[in-house]
């Protein structure tokens, strides 16, 4: 009974966190549904056993562990993909900033005269005659 109360409090706190930071988004709503189902299963464990028996798994705990394993693996794959996209965006941003600074630095340099080509007259008076 005490553990059921602690789990319920934990799920309520996590659902409030999800509501505060992911409010109207689809993932936030999905998490709220997940936490509500989790609280229901904490107080009615026979329901998870019925679901497990329906799916061909003997116990509700085994069903829960399999479900959590699959969800955890999907979460890891999602996070790896998200980190990879962030890395690509950061690389593009760094390139853009570097190019912008290079262009700004080049335009700030004083213009330097180029060396005359071979056979070109360098004396202004000689070229005017």
Its pTM surpasses 0.75: no
Lowest-pLDDT choice from 5-14, 57-66, 110-119: 110-119
Q: What is the DSSP string of 7-40?
A: HHHHHHHHHHHHHHHHTTSHHHHHHHHHHHHHHH
Q: Which residue intervals of 44-123 are DSSP H helices?
A: 45-55, 60-108
Percent of the chain topping pLDDT 90: 30
Q: Which residue has the tokens 């999800």?
A: 18
Return mean pLDDT, the chain: 84
**78 alpha carbon, distance to own chain's centre:** 8
Mean pLDDT of 16-37: 83
pLDDT band at 94 (very low <50, low <70, confident <90, very high): very high
Cβ–Cβ under 8 Å, residues 50 and 34: no
Dig out the tokens for 129 from the structure: 């005659």
Mean per-residue pLDDT for 45-72?
A: 87
Please state the φ and ψ torsions of residue 45, each to the nearest 5 degrees.
-65, -20
Q: What is the dihedral of CA 79, 82, 83, 84, to 10 degrees?
A: 120
């Amino acid at each position: 009974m005490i553990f059921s109360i602690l789990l319920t409090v934990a799920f309520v706190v996590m659902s409030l966190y999800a509501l505060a930071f992911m409010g109207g988004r689809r993932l936030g709503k999905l998490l709220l549904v997940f936490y509500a189902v989790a609280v229901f299963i904490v107080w009615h464990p026979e329901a998870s056993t019925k679901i497990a028996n329906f799916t061909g798994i003997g116990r509700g705990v085994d069903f829960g562990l399999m479900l959590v394993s699959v969800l955890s693996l999907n979460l890891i794959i999602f996070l790896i993909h998200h980190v990879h996209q962030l890395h690509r965006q950061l690389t593009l941003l760094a390139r853009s900033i570097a190019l912008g600074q290079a262009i700004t630095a080049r335009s700030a340099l004083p213009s330097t005269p180029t060396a005359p080509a071979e056979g070109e007259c360098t004396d202004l008076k000689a070229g005017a005659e």
